[in-house]
Amino acid sequence: MTATHHDVLIIGSGAAGLTAALSLATKLKVLVLAKGDLTSGSTAWAQGGIAAVLDAGDTFEDHVRDTMIAGAGLNDEEVVRFVIERAPAAIDRLCELGVPFNRESGDLHLTREGGHSHRRIVHVDDATGWAVQAALLKAAEENPNITLLPGQSCVDLVTGRNEERYSGSGRVWGAYALDEASGKVRLHTARATVMAAGGAGRVYQFSTSPRGATGDGIAMAWRAGARVSNMEMMQFHPTCLYNLEVKNFLITEAVRGEGGHLINPRTGERFMSQYDPERMELAPRDVVARANDDQIKRFGLDYVHLDISHQPPEFVKGHFPTIHEKLLGLGIDMTRQPIPVVPAQHYTCGGVMIDLAGRTDLPGLYAAGECTESGLHGANRLASNSLLECFVFGEAAAQDILARWDSFDAPPAIREWDESRVTDSDEEVVIKQNWTEIRRMMWNYVGIVRTTKRLERAKHRIDLLASEIADYYGHFRVTTDLIELRNLHQCAGLIVESALKRHESRGLHFTLDYPETDAVPVDTVLVP
Ligand code: FAD
Ligand code: SIN
C-alpha cells in the first residue's frame, strides 16, 4: 500500500488524540489513526464525568490536595497544579463544541465522587464519555485539515532505525500500521507523532476497559526507546457489575457519590465503616476496591451489594438513566434492589513518561492521555481526573508542536514494511491461548493484593511466553490479534517488573510482604 505523509500523525481518536488534532489543525495537516472504529477507546465509555473547580465554595488548592491524597503523594505537585488550573478552560472548550453537560438553573450540575472533598464533577447524565467523544469527533470530521482513518492497528513507531541510511538517531518519524481490511501494513510518516493510544486494562482478565485497551501505545513507545514509569499502579474500580453474561459494565462511582451504600449480602452490614469510618463509600478507589475484595474473599462471596434503593426512584432514574435501563434489561431494578458488584481493573496510572509539554524521551514523539505517566495521578488516580488529563495534555502537546514547528525536519527516506520472510499463520490458537493465559495470570498473581512470591511466579510465566510470542511474530504476517498479544505481553512484563521493584505499599500497589509506606515517595522508572 502506498505510504502517507502528513505534518503530524496522531495515534488514537479518543479524548487525548482528538483534542490534540483539533488544536494542531488550526495550522497543520493531521492524520488520526484508530484501531477498529473511531469510538473504540475508553473515552466513549466514561460515565461519571470530568473534574473541575467550578463551584464558588471550591478551590484549586482543595482539588490539588484531593488529587495528592488519592495519589498517596507520588504525584508531581507542579503537574497536578498545571492540570487542575486548566480544567475550567477545558470545560469551556467542550461547551463551545456543544457537549450538553447537565445544568441546574443554568449552572453546570456538579456531582460527587470518591476522594473529592467537594461536588466538582461535570457530567452528561451517566454517559459523559459518549457525549464528549461525539462532540470531538463531529468537530474533527468537519475540519478539512484532519484526516480520520479508522481500522488501522499501528504495529510499531518508525524511528531512525527504519531510515534507508540509518543515522543512529532515536528520532520518531511516524508509524507502521496494519490496514485491518486489506491485511497490509502501511507506512505513515510525519514530522511529529502524538501517541494517544489509551491504557493497558485488558492485560487483566476482568476490566471495565474496552476490548482494544491492550497497551499498544505504551509498548510501542517502550520498544522505540522511551522510558515508562509507575506501571505497577493499576487502578481497580470497586464497582463493576457482577453478571455472568455482561462482564465489563461499570457502575459509576457517582452512584456512591449520590448516596449509594456498599453492603455485605450475607450479613446485611454496611461494611465501609470497618475500613474508612470517616469517608465510608467516598474513600478513594484503592481503599474501597480493597474493602470489596476483602469482603468477597473473607466471606467467600461472589460479589457485594451496591444499594441506592433508599433514594427516591425518580432521583435514581434521573441521575443514572443509562445504568438504570441497562440493569432493567438484566432483570435488576436499581430503584428497588441492590446491584451485585465486584472490583475490576479500570485505569492504567503508569505509562510513557512525558513532561508538561507532552514530550517523551524521543525527539519527534509526544504522548497524551491514558498511555502516559505525566505525574498527575501518582499512586492512584482521583476519580474523573483522567478525561481532564487528556484535554490538558492533548492541548499542551499541540501547542508545543505548533510553537516548535519550524525546528522539525522533514522525514528522511524510510523503508516500507518488509514481509518477504513471513507467511500466514497456521496456528491462530497460539494467540488465543497466550492472550487468555496472560490475562488470567495477571488477575490471579498481580491483582489488588500482591505478594513477592506471586509476582515472581508471574515474571517466570511472562519470561517463558516471551520467546514463544517473539517466534510467532518473527514468522507470521501480523494481525490485530497478534499485535495486541505482543503488546499485552510487553505491558504485563513492565507491570510485574515495576511491582517487584517497589518494596512498600502505596496507593494501588499493596503487597503483603511490604505493608508499610516509605517516608519518601519515589517513582518506579524503567529504562529500555
Ligand atoms: P482512549 O479513549 O482509550 O482512546 C485510545 C485510542 O487509541 C482509540 O482510538 C484506539 O482505537 C486507539 N488505538 C489503540 N491502540 C492502537 C493501535 N495499535 N493503533 C492505532 N490506534 C490505536 N475517566 C474520567 O475522567 N471520568 C470518567 O467518568 C471515566 N469513566 C470511565 C468509565 C469506563 C468504563 C472506563 C473504561 C474509563 C473511564 N474513565 C473515566 C477513564 C477515561 O475514560 C480514559 O482514561 C480516557 O478516556 C482515555 O482517553 P485516551 O484518549 O487516552 O484513550
Ligand atoms: C466512574 O464513573 O466511576 C468512573 C470515573 C472515573 O474513572 O474517573
CA distance 65 to 116: 9
Listed in sequence order, the residues at least 6 apart from 250 whose beta carbon sits closer than 8 Å to its beta carbon are 45, 47, 208, 237, 239, 240, 241, 346
Last residue of a domain, one of 377, 407, 437: 407
What does the block give as the cell for 513?
510482604
Those residues of the chain that have pLDDT short of 70 are: none
Q: Is 151 in the pocket of ligand 1 (CB under 6 A)?
A: no
Closest approach atom of ligand 1 to CA 484: 18
Residues 331 and 480 in one domain: no
- Going from the Cα of 47 to the center of ligand 2, the distance in angstroms, rounded, reads 6
Give me the CATH number covering residue 452: 1.20.58.100
Q: List the beta strands (DSSP E) in 112-206.
A: 121-122, 146-149, 152-159, 172-179, 184-195
Identify whether the C-beta of residue 288 lies closer than 8 Å to the C-beta of residue 272.
yes
Quote the crossing angle between the two packed helices 386-404 and 15-24, to the nearest 10°: 30
Q: Is 216 in the pocket of ligand 1 (CB under 6 A)?
A: yes
Q: Is 383 in the pocket of ligand 2 (CB under 6 A)?
A: yes
Q: Is 345 in the pocket of ligand 2 (CB under 6 A)?
A: no
CA distance 342 to 245: 14
Q: How many CB atoms lie within 10 A of CB 253?
A: 29
Identify whether the C-beta of residue 525 lies closer than 8 Å to the C-beta of residue 227.
yes
- Going from the Cα of 347 to the center of ligand 1, the distance in angstroms, rounded, reads 9
Closest approach atom of ligand 2 to CA 237: 3
Q: Is 157 in the pocket of ligand 1 (CB under 6 A)?
A: no
- Going from the Cα of 210 to the center of ligand 2, the distance in angstroms, rounded, reads 14
Identify whether the C-beta of residue 114 lies closer than 8 Å to the C-beta of residue 284.
yes
Could you tell me if residue 108 is inside a domain? yes
How do beta strands 228-229 and 184-195 pair?
A: unpaired
CA angle in degrees (0–180, nearest 5) for 495-489-14: 80
What does the block give as the cell for 314?
425518580
Q: Is 41 in the pocket of ligand 1 (CB under 6 A)?
A: yes
In whole angstroms, how far apart are CA 37 and each of 12, 151, 387?
10, 6, 20
CB contact burial 391-411 (16+ within 10 A = b; e otherwise): bbbbbbbbebbeeeeeebeeb
Last residue of a domain, one of 315, 345, 375: 345
Could you tell me if residue 528 is inside a domain? no
Q: Is 369 in the pocket of ligand 1 (CB under 6 A)?
A: yes
**How large is the C-alpha radius of gyration of the chain?**
22
Last residue of a domain, one of 345, 369, 398: 345
Could you tell me if residue 366 is inside a domain? yes
Which of 42, 113, 247 gets mutated to test ligand 1 (max ligand atoms within 8 A of its CB)? 42
Give me the CATH number covering residue 187: 3.50.50.60
Residues 509 and 391 in one domain: no
Could you tell me if residue 420 is inside a domain? no
Q: Which of 186, 256, 285, 381 is catalytic?
A: 285
CA distance 318 to 126: 10
Residue range 352-407, pLDDT digits in tens:
999 999 999 999 999 999 999 999 999 999 999 999 999 999 999 999 999 999 99
* One-letter amino acid of 417: W
Could you tell me if residue 432 is inside a domain? yes
Could you tell me if residue 414 is inside a domain? no
- Three-class DSSP category at 241: strand
CA distance 477 to 66: 48
Residues 400 and 438 in one domain: no
Quick one: pLDDT at residue 440?
92
Residues 294 and 338 in one domain: yes
Q: What kind and span of H or E run contains 191?
A: strand 184-195
Residues 273 and 358 in one domain: no
Q: Is 450 annotated as catalytic?
A: no
The ligand with the least distance to the CA atom of 208 is: 1
- What is the longest distance spanned by two Cα atoms in the chain? 70
Give me the CATH number covering residue 263: 3.90.700.10
Identify whether the C-beta of residue 124 lies closer than 8 Å to the C-beta of residue 91.
no
> CA nearest 364: which of 414, 404, 391?
404
- Going from the Cα of 293 to the center of ligand 2, the distance in angstroms, rounded, reads 18
- Three-class DSSP category at 516: coil
Write phi, then psi, for 31 (nearest 5 degrees). Answer: -110, 125
Domain count, the chain: 3
Residues 359 and 503 in one domain: no
Q: Is 243 in the pocket of ligand 1 (CB under 6 A)?
A: no
Closest approach atom of ligand 1 to CA 386: 25
The ligand with the least distance to the CA atom of 51 is: 1
Residues 340 and 353 in one domain: no
Could you tell me if residue 525 is inside a domain? no
Quick one: pLDDT at residue 30?
98
Residues 97 and 53 in one domain: yes
Q: Is 374 in the pocket of ligand 1 (CB under 6 A)?
A: no
CA distance 250 to 148: 29
Determine the distance from the C-alpha atom of residue 435 to the mean position of all C-alpha atoms in its chain, rounded to a whole number.
Answer: 19
Which of 249, 256, 384 gets mutated to test ligand 2 (max ligand atoms within 8 A of its CB)? 384
Could you tell me if residue 413 is inside a domain? no
Residues 329 and 365 in one domain: no
Residues 57 and 120 in one domain: yes
Quick one: pLDDT at residue 61?
98
The ligand with the least distance to the CA atom of 391 is: 1
Quick one: pLDDT at residue 247?
77
Identify the domain containing residue 488 by its residue range: 428-518
The ligand with the least distance to the CA atom of 288 is: 2
Residues 77 and 168 in one domain: yes
Residues 324 and 355 in one domain: no
CA distance 282 to 142: 41
The owner of cell 519515589 is: 522
Burial of 86 (0-12, 13-18, 19+ CB in 10 A): middle
Quick one: pLDDT at residue 290?
93
